[in-house]
Amino acid sequence: MQFADIIIPLGVENFFTYSVPTEYEGTVAVGGLVVVSFVKNKRYTGVVYALHSNPPVGFETRPIERVIEEGFALSASHLKFLLWLSEYYMAPPGEVTRAALPVAMRLESYTSLCLAADWQEDGTGGVELSLMEREVIGVFRQNGEICMAEVEKLLRRKDVYVAVRSLLEQGIIQVKESVDDLFKPKLERLVRWARVFSGEELGKIIDSLKRAKAQQKMLCDWIMYCDEHHTDSLPKAEFTGVIGNSTAALKGLCERGVLEVATIEVSRLDSTGEEVQEMHALSGEQERALEQVRGHFKERDCVLLQGVTSSGKTEVYIHLIEETIRQGKQVLYLLPEIALTVQIVKRLRRVFGDRVGVYHSGMTDSARAEMWRRQNGENPYPVVLGVRSSIFLPYRNLGLVIIDEEHEASYKQKEPAPRYHGRDAAIMLGKMNGAKILLGSATPSFESYQNAMSGKYGFVELTTRFGEVMMPELMFVDVKEYRRKKMMKGSFTPVLYEEMKRVLERGMQVILFQNRRGYSTFLQCNHCGAILKCKHCDVSMTYYRFRNTLNCHYCGSLRPVPTVCEECGQGHYVNRTPGTERIEEEVKQYFPEARVARMDLEVMSNKVKFRALIEEFEAGNLDILIGTQMVSKGLDFERVKLVGVMDADSLVSFPDFRAEERAYDMLMQVSGRSGRKGEQGKVVIQVADRENRVYRLVEKGSFHGFYSFLSREREMFHYPPFSRLIQIELRHVNEYSLRNAANELARKLRERLERRVCGPAEPEVARVRKMYRIQVLIKAEQGLSLSKLKTFIRQKCDELLKGESGKGLKVYFDVDPL
């Protein structure tokens, strides 16, 4: 008899052994997806970890219920990579699998399902439904939204999985937790010419429409549009927006056989159809850099490309991508945030057209599954552009991994586990696949820079901006002084105000950077000074003026603003520190003529809005863009001549050993948006703490100097890149039990690890979702075996969990925390 060890996509340790029914012997393979029933007969889609013939002792195995079609099996190397992630980041393999597979692929008993909104009785496209499928449809019709376990219960059968899956694939039912329907071909309504008309014919038709003015106008507009845009069709929604929204007129034209509304099937994966263009020729310096990168790749896997902002790193990448795919290999191009994909995808598609696939969390689940299946199939995209989760896609023949803006903290997955670093995981992915890895940044992370300086990575520099453009002029302005003299205009010093005026008068653009979101970060009582905090988390709530509510960024709870102070009952709440919204309001007051837009998480959550915003700004239809760190990096706008940093001190003042590195990066990056083409740009940095050493280091402008200066301290205090960190976080509803447990753990760990153990310490936010949190940090010097260390830590945590203080305790690991 054959047995299979299965990874269940849940946060449980271990593998689970199932028996392989004879009918499936030979079909079940390592890496394959199978359906099994787990605790309480709930069904899950698991991954086969190993096959063997050793019956487990002490319990009866249950059989694998079903093997999922091939298109979704993980390759051996893919599985190996996931297991490496699990091991390195101390996350159960199930948790890694959960992160790796799109929801649509790991259908499980709890997944909520319902009938597709637009499904109608005759919507099967002529496919005959099985009896079981019809029964399942019946259950959904009566019950609305239910999960698979309930379908099984209602039908009193255990074998509904096949039917459910088949209905899912036909788009008759859909997964509720995903926005879109699953595996269902996406349909789009298209307005187009009913047939080809000659100019003469059209003339006649227009004449004949004399008494149907609306139709005549619509037709004329349509003809003009088609001419201008070299097109002959338009999605219905756009047609309504661009040409006109008179349903009657459109209907009239259709009835006359001039236009038609067709329903066509489209892929969810954006495609362009745009014509591809030649790559830009590289400048002398870029050519030299490319040559050096190639040279290093002969000896090393990893190269760090440090290029000042607007030096054309992206152009160098493009040349490398071209070479790689010419050799028939794949490229993974990683970016830290979705925000940056908008512009880069355009630049890549201009050169590589439809050979570029995009993958990120903003896509619907079906689109992600479609992409997954495609990459696993015969005709995968040669180039994948995506955020950190793209490391989970299948790769056939990876030749190059590019990690752009490699210093970005947003590469790190924070919650939920696995808490992996996109950059580091991608490096490993590249190595496991024998690919070359290029890290790029204007302000490399200390970790990568240290690797470059020690010779572990190749190191290549671009020191000038493309096109002999000058680096921007930096102006530090002391806010305190202007406050004292009462010369501030709201949050603007006269210096920034005047510079803005000058730039706007010349028809150029301004970016204002404010490191916060919301109308103001917090509300404070004007009588007793109490700060309004979240009731569940130990953190101040953010005030959103436009809906007059408070929002907790940690647990997400919302509440209205109390009229009197909850502490003293006398004062009322006033805004402190201005956020992006408040800056926007002030800009409107001081620059009433200017066209202003705001870009922050709020706006970002809407993909369409966000893309439109970037396009508007690019096209020059906006004058001022106000934003949080999203505006600070990677974006490439020609006409920005001034960047204003509203409050630089807020960058420096975090209680974190990386705060200064981050502040430096941020200031360099945001400055990098100014004057990227043509004449030199300016940057006005408003500060109160003028003497801060970070500002002095920024002024000096030497990254190497900055690194040398700060890395001495890092080395002295055993911080990365001179050590590795592992953070253990404990959570409990009871603060007292938590403290006890944490002290006990720290004591146990100290027995062997001694001074490498720091804490327990309360994190900045000591309570989240009613759970108290406390952290113990382990510093591991170079040379210490990490895997032994992890085994030891895990062992001590297990002891703790099994003991008296383990009740109700939760333990989380974060390896290389940021």
Q: Which residues bind ligand ATP (CB under 6 A)?
A: 280, 282-283, 286, 307, 309-315, 442, 466, 634, 636, 672, 676
Instruction: Measure the CA–CA gap between 678 and 41, rounded to whole angstroms.
Output: 67
For residue 72, give both structure tokens.
């979704």
Contact 466, 673 (CB under 8 A): no
Q: Minimum Å distance from CB 536 to Zn ion?
A: 4
What is the closest distance, in whole angstroms, from the C-beta atom of residue 443 to ligand ATP in the complex? 9
* 564/439 Cα distance (integer angstroms): 53
Partner touching 286 among ligand ATP, Zn ion, none, CB below 5 to 8 Å by kind: ligand ATP
Closest CB 537 distance from Zn ion, rounded Å: 3
Binding mask 480-519 for Zn ion (x = CB under 5 A): ----------------------------------------
CA angle 142, 146, 148 (to 5 degrees): 115
Residue number of the CB closest to ligand ATP reads 312
Minimal distance in Å, beta carbon 638 to ligand ATP?
7
Distance from CA of residue 255 to its chain's centroid?
46
Q: With contact defined as beta carbons under 8 Å apart, do 191 and 239 qualify?
A: yes
Q: How far is the CB of 92 from ligand ATP (least distance, A)?
A: 37
Contact 610, 339 (CB under 8 A): yes
Give the total residue count for the chain.
Answer: 818
Element (H, E) at 662: helix 659-671
Measured from the CB atom, the residue of 35 and 534 that comes closer to Zn ion is 534
State which residue, 313 or 682, has the beta carbon closest to ligand ATP.
313
Closest by Cα among 63, 64, 65, 34 to 48: 34
- Please, what is the minimum distance in Å from the beta carbon of residue 312 to ligand ATP? 3
Question: Which residue type, as a one-letter code, is found at position 55?
Answer: P
Residues 82, 96: contact at Cβ < 8 Å? yes
Q: Residue 43's beta-bridge partner residues?
A: 37
Shortest separation between residue 355's beta carbon and ligand ATP, angstroms: 20
- List Cβ neighbours of 729 (8 Å cut-off, separation of 6 or more): 763, 773, 774, 775, 811, 812, 813, 814
Q: Which does residue 629 bind out of ligand ATP, Zn ion, none, counting CB within 5 to 8 angstroms by kind?
A: none
d(CA 772, CA 735): 6
On the CB side of 240, CA atoms within 13 Å amount to: 11
Partner whose binding site includes residue 537, from ligand ATP, Zn ion, none (CB under 5 to 8 Å by kind)? Zn ion
318 vs 694, which CB is nearer to ligand ATP?
Answer: 318
By C-beta, is 278 or 415 nearer to Zn ion?
A: 415
Helix (H) or strand (E) holding 207: helix 199-208
Binding mask 541-580 for Zn ion (x = CB under 5 A): -----------x-xx-------------------------
Residue 780 binding result from Zn ion, ligand ATP, none, given CB thresholds of 5 to 8 Å by partner type = none
Tell the smallest beta-carbon distance from residue 552 to Zn ion (Å).
3
CA-closest candidate to residue 388, choices 342, 440, 341, 346: 341
Q: Which does 534 bind (CB under 5 to 8 A by kind): Zn ion, ligand ATP, none?
A: Zn ion
Q: CA-based angle 158:160:165, to the nearest 5?
A: 140
Question: Element (H or E) spanning 710, and its range?
Answer: helix 703-716
Decide whether 637 or 707 has the Cβ nearer to ligand ATP: 637
> Cα(682)–Cα(511) distance, rounded to whole angstroms?
11
Of 616, 615, 670, 617, nearest to 643 by C-alpha is: 670
Q: 114 a known binding residue?
A: no
Partner from ligand ATP, Zn ion, none binding residue 552, C-beta < 5-8 Å depending on class: Zn ion
Instruction: Please state the closest distance from residue 313 (CB atom) to ligand ATP, in A.
Output: 4
* Cβ closest to ligand ATP, residue 311 vs residue 376: 311
Q: Smallest gap, in angstroms, from Cβ of residue 415 to Zn ion? A: 14
- Residue 555 binding target from Zn ion, ligand ATP, none, CB below 5 to 8 Å by type: Zn ion
Residue 313 interacting partner from ligand ATP, Zn ion, none (CB closer than 5 to 8 Å by kind)? ligand ATP
Q: C-alpha 751: how far from its chain's center?
A: 40
Residue 528 marked as a ligand binder? yes
Among Zn ion, ligand ATP, none, partner that 517 touches (CB below 5 to 8 angstroms by kind): none
* Residue 458 vs 760, nearer CB to ligand ATP: 458
Sign of CA dihedral 556, 562, 565, 566: negative
Q: Are 625 and 509 in contact (CB under 8 A)?
A: yes
Identify which of residues 187 and 558 has a Cβ nearer to Zn ion in the complex. Answer: 558
Nearer Cβ to ligand ATP (95/406): 406
Count of residues that interact with Zn ion, criterion CB under 5 A:
6
Phi then psi for residue 387, to 5 deg, are -95, -175
Residue 466 interacts with, from ligand ATP, Zn ion, none (CB under 5-8 Å by kind)? ligand ATP
Helices and strands counted in the chain (H then E) = 26, 34
- Work out what residue 536 binds among ligand ATP, Zn ion, none; the CB cut-off runs from 5 to 8 Å by kind: Zn ion
The item of Zn ion, ligand ATP, none sharing an interface with residue 769, based on CB under 5 to 8 Å by kind, is none
Neighbour tally for 480: CB within 10 Å = 11
Looking at residues 683 to 702 of the shown chain, list those that interact with Zn ion (rule: CB under 5 A).
none
Find out whether 338 and 409 touch, Cβ atoms under 8 Å.
no
Q: Count CB-CB contacts under 10 A for residue 208.
A: 12
| Least separation in angstroms between CB 321 and ligand ATP | 13
Instruction: For residue 456, state whether it binds Zn ion (rule: CB under 5 A).
Output: no
552 is an annotated ligand-binding site residue: yes
Count other C-beta atoms under 10 Å from residue 182's C-beta: 26
Annotated binding-site residue? 226: no
Question: Could you say which of Zn ion, ligand ATP, none residue 634 binds, taking C-beta under 5 to 8 angstroms by partner kind?
Answer: ligand ATP
Nearer to ligand ATP, 278 or 299 (CB): 278
Q: Which residues of 42-62 are buried (b: 16+ CB within 10 A; e: fewer)?
A: bbbbbbbbeeeeeeeeeeeee
Q: How far is the CB of 534 from Zn ion (least distance, A)?
A: 3
Distances (CA, A) of 169 to 165, 183, 278: 6, 5, 40
| Footprint (CB under 5 A) of Zn ion, residues 513-542 | 534, 536-537
CB of 413 to Zn ion, least distance (A): 21
Nearer to Zn ion, 190 or 555 (CB): 555
Q: Which is nearer to ligand ATP, 249 or 698 (CB)?
A: 698
In the complex, minimum distance from the CB of residue 556 to Zn ion, in angstroms, rounded to a whole number = 7
Interacting residues of 406 by C-beta distance below 8 A, sequence separation 6+: 304, 423, 439, 440, 441, 444, 445, 448
Residue 310 interface partner, choices Zn ion, ligand ATP, none, CB cut-off 5-8 Å depending on type: ligand ATP
**Closer to ligand ATP by Cβ: residue 71 or 467:** 467
> Smaller CB distance to ligand ATP: residue 178 or 310?
310
* 758 in a labelled binding site: no
Determine how many CB atoms are found less than 10 A away from the CB of residue 73.
22
Can you say which residues are annotated as belonging to the binding site? 525, 528, 534, 537, 552, 555, 565, 568
**Contacts with Zn ion, residue ranges (CB under 5 A):** 534, 536-537, 552, 554-555
Can you say which residues are annotated as belonging to the binding site for Zn(2+)? 525, 528, 534, 537, 552, 555, 565, 568
